[in-house]
Amino acid sequence: MWRGVLSSSKLSFSSKLLHRNFCSEIFVSRLSHYTTEEELQKTFSKFGKIKEVRLVRDDKTRRPKGFAFVRFESEADAERAIKGMDKRIVQSRLIFVEMAKSKSN
């Protein structure tokens, strides 16, 4: 009896993993307020082809807020960037890099 329940829950869990959203966007935090889009492009392009770099800026001052999003062409490139850049020093600051969360989360 339990085997049937267990195997069906494994199947359900596995199918959720297979159908999860494809994510090729990373979130980069703790950036210097002097960071530019060009510097981010140069820093992260060694991990794969980049589609977009979005440096989030303050609406009033237009200065960077210290975080950005980088979208790669593939999820594998994004994962390489996370492994290669998370908890690294960039412009004398320890940065954190993780997979970006979707707006629905």
Nearest to 22 by CA among 93, 80, 83, 73: 73
pLDDT in tens, 58-105: 999 999 999 999 999 999 999 999 999 999 999 999 999 999 998 765
pLDDT recorded at residue 40: 97
- pLDDT value of position 54: 97
Whole-model pTM?
0.77
Position 42 scores a pLDDT of 97
Angle, vertex CA 42, rays to CA 72 and CA 59, nearest 5 = 80
Query: What pLDDT digit, counting tens, does each position of 19-71 carry?
Result: 345 689 999 999 999 999 999 999 999 999 999 999 999 999 999 999 999 99
